[in-house]
């Protein structure tokens, strides 16, 4: 199976703008709102959403980064990766509406780990989930509140999100899963 592009830069930008509007509407503004990105690309997407909300509302939304590596229940099944820094907003997350942001929602295990990790940093009033791509195949009862694109896929396919800040291009591709190290 050849790799094909399913979202290009402009489409990603439109999806993030739509997600930003949906977050503002659901929260009835930006008061008490905190965005928390899951590294690596979820953290970048959280910053982009915060910038978009600032342009729309004229108000900055605090952004945090939450590494979930040590909270995962499937470490034995994935290549080991060094934990990245966790950075919470100075005001914390107690009583806030936290929107967790990730690039691809798949089994739900990363989000479960994020919920566990988030609990070590405070007690939010509510937690919501935003994902650029929802590919299905959930193993846990988790769903996104805000989705850029539903992209049904087989387990044999790999969805890759590439972002300008790291990869030099904004795109989402789908292709065959590599045999080793995927």
> What pLDDT, in 10s, does the model give residues 1-12?
789 999 999 999
Q: What are residue 149's DSSP bridge partners?
A: 133
User: Which strands make up the sheet holding 157-162, listed edge to edge?
Assistant: 4-8, 171-176, 157-162
State the CATH architecture for 4-176.
3-Layer(aba) Sandwich (3.40)
Domain boundaries, the chain: 4-176
Closest CA to 37 of 47, 27, 52: 47
Q: What is the pLDDT of residues 81-91, one digit of tens each?
A: 677 789 999 99
How would residue 182 be classed by pLDDT, with cut points 50, 70 and 90? Answer: very low
pLDDT in tens, 71-82: 887 766 666 667
Q: What is the pTM of this model?
A: 0.93
Q: For residues 97 and 70, is the Cβ–Cβ distance under 8 A? A: no
Q: How confident is the model at residue 180 (pLDDT cuts 50, 70, 90)?
A: very low
């Amino acid at each position: 199976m050849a790799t094909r592009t399913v979202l290009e830069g402009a489409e990603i930008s439109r999806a993030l703008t739509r997600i930003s509007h949906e977050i503002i509407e659901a929260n009835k503004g930006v008061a008490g709102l905190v965005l928390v990105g899951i590294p690596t690309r979820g953290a970048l997407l959280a910053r982009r959403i915060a910038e978009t909300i600032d342009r729309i509302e004229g108000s900055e939304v605090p952004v945090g980064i939450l590494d979930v590596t040590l909270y995962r229940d499937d470490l034995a099944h994935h290549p080991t990766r060094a934990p990245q820094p966790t950075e919470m907003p100075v005001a914390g997350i107690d009583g806030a509406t936290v929107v967790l942001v990730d690039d691809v929602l798949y089994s739900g295990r990363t989000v479960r780990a994020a919920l566990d990790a988030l609990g070590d940093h405070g007690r939010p009033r509510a937690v919501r989930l935003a994902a650029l791509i929802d590919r299905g195949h959930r193993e846990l009862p988790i769903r996104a509140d805000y989705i850029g694109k539903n992209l049904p896929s087989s387990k044999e396919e790999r969805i890759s999100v590439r972002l300008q800040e790291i990869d030099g291009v904004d795109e989402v591709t789908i292709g065959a899963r590599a045999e080793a190290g995927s």
